[in-house]
Amino acid sequence: MKKLLAILLAAACAFSLAACAAAPDTPAAEEQPDCISDQTTQQLAAPVEAAMAQYPNEAKYTASNGNFDSEKYDEDWDAWWESYQEKTADMTDPAAMTHWFTTSIPALMQDAGKENRVCSPLNIYMALSMLAAVTDGQTRQQILDALGAESLELLQKQTAQLWTENSWDDGIVTSVLANSIWLRDEYSYNEETLQKLGEEFYASAFSGEMGTDAYNNMLRDWINEHTGNLLTEQASGLELAPATVLALVSTIYYRASWSDKFSGSATTQDVFHAPDGDVTADFMHSSDSNTVYYGDGFSAIGLSLENSGRMWLLKPDEGVDAAELLQNKDALGLLLANGNWSQTQRARVNLSLPKFDVSSDLDILDTLAQLGMTDVMDGTKSDFTPLTTANDSLELTQAKHAARVKIDEDGCEAAAYTILGVEATAMMGPEDEIDFTLDKPFVFAITGIDGLPLFVGLVNQPG
């Protein structure tokens, strides 16, 4: 372990001293302590990405006397445009992600009942990609099959592309992804695998004593920092068990403005017909030319987000439950079509949309098993040989996912995290089995600039 610490600490310095001085304005910026904070709980390495050129705000180029600095404005515009083109030059083919989105969304959104439900399939995909990198054999193959990836190499290329196109902080759109690995001190790890997680999955590395307050607090602080403090309530209960040997954590924070903002003066209170009875909500209103999309059991519109993707709003047809749309192949197809749809109508849409703030805190261990990832949860079958040289029986025992999305007249803000905890367990035989027997609900999704769903949700209560 000491040799590994030396390698990772050297890597931390090689990444850049900028890791200790990133701008604190966004969740991407980590307020770094010294490279070693103490001998038991410490951050070992943090990747640093090049800053994106900022979108020029015209007001900043106008002097107090009214003169406009067009030369500086044009210079900054060109820099931003070059940065924008670099990020959008080679976008992910939605077909490569179809399997994951069309299987994971129904599984994650099932059994919501009358409650709100929101998830980030992209965030879970990123966490599972790291899990694939620390497993092998049939264990890895089941993860690859669930993600719709032919090989680990192709998966790594896919995650790198998704990372690039969904990492924005240009003053207009904030879309920040972050990964981290949490190590158990004095445990034997495969150094090459951990280096790969840092280099190919942009993961920060931490080391400490599992189960201690200090390490758990560091984990919660890291998650809150990288989710814009939107999920502090959910993160407050997160803990790493003493038997944990590795935790893989992935986060996403997203903030964007509507291309056409709603007028605050037009917002009115009206009735939302929730499953448990009518409630009063603040409804935003607009009347604009838009495209209406029709499918089996629903109609939908897309609201453009400035320099980003869209928020899709799916309204169930009369007699159709909104939750049914999350199991509907036609509705899921629309979310992946990026506007390429045959059944459309151009019209003036008089939109009444309730402001909402919805969140979920999910245990997704059973969901991952439902998606075919079973060996990783069974210490008698799991293969973690890329992770460790220790002769321990390891299994995935913790899989938590939390997400939150809120919208108002200006735009939307969202965040999610996924934590996957791997523990050392005693070798045992098969266990015995013991039976311990829109003025109404609607579906939404936020797509990124590549058209792929960042967040998907069911609103049963807009509050």
Residue 45 token pair: 């390495």
Give the CATH number for residue 409.
Answer: 3.30.497.10
Is 430 a member of any domain? no
What's residue 62's pLDDT? Answer: 85
- Do residues 278 and 380 share a domain? no
- Do residues 174 and 290 share a domain? no
- Return the percent helix, strand and coil in the chain, to nearest 5: 30, 30, 35
Alpha-carbon torsion, ordered 181, 29, 92, 127, to 10 deg = 20
What's residue 64's pLDDT? Answer: 80
What's residue 170's pLDDT? Answer: 84
> CA-CA distance, 330 to 308, in Å (whole number)?
24
Place of tokens 């106008």: 62
Domain count, the chain: 2
Express each pLDDT in 370-389 by its tens digit: 999 999 999 899 999 998 87
Is 61 a member of any domain? no
- Do residues 344 and 385 share a domain? no
- Do residues 132 and 223 share a domain? yes
Q: How many CB atoms lie within 10 A of CB 349?
A: 15
> CA-CA distance, 129 to 125, in Å (whole number)?
6
- Do residues 134 and 215 share a domain? yes
Is 2 a member of any domain? no
> CA-CA distance, 272 to 279, in Å (whole number)?
5
Is 243 a member of any domain? yes
Express each pLDDT in 348-371 by its tens digit: 889 999 999 999 999 999 999 999
Is 62 a member of any domain? no
What's residue 121's pLDDT? Answer: 96
- Do residues 333 and 400 share a domain? no
Contacts of 269 (CB under 8 A, 6+ apart): 280, 281, 282, 283
Alpha helices in 52-92 (DSSP H): 70-88
Is 399 a member of any domain? yes
The Cβ-side half-sphere exposure at 285, using a 13 Å CA radius, reads: 9
Query: DSSP secondary structure string, 184-237?
Result: ETT----HHHHHHHHHHS-EEEEEE-TT-HHHHHHHHHHHHHHTTTTTHHHHTT
Question: Which amino acid does the sequence have at 82?
Answer: E
- Do residues 155 and 124 share a domain? yes
- Do residues 240 and 150 share a domain? yes
Q: How many CB atoms lie within 10 A of CB 81?
A: 13
Burial class (CB in 10 A: 0-12, 13-18, 19+), 91: middle
Confidence (pTM):
0.84
What's residue 46's pLDDT? Answer: 58
The residues of the chain scoring below 70 in pLDDT are 1-50, 91, 391, 426-437
Is 405 a member of any domain? yes
- Do residues 307 and 271 share a domain? yes
- Do residues 282 and 417 share a domain? no
Is 40 a member of any domain? no
What's residue 47's pLDDT? Answer: 58
What's residue 123's pLDDT? Answer: 97
Cβ proximity of 460 and 325 under 8 Å: no
Q: Which of 90, 97, 85 is nearest to 447 (CA)?
A: 97
- Do residues 290 and 219 share a domain? no
Helix or strand or coil: residue 310? strand
What's residue 27's pLDDT? Answer: 58
What's residue 425's pLDDT? Answer: 75
- Do residues 266 and 278 share a domain? yes
Q: How far apart are the first and last CA of the chain?
A: 49
| Residue 334 structural domain | 258-356+439-459
Secondary structure of 322-334 in the HEC alphabet? Answer: HHHHCCCHHHHHH
What's residue 132's pLDDT? Answer: 97
Give the CATH number for residue 297.
Answer: 2.30.39.10
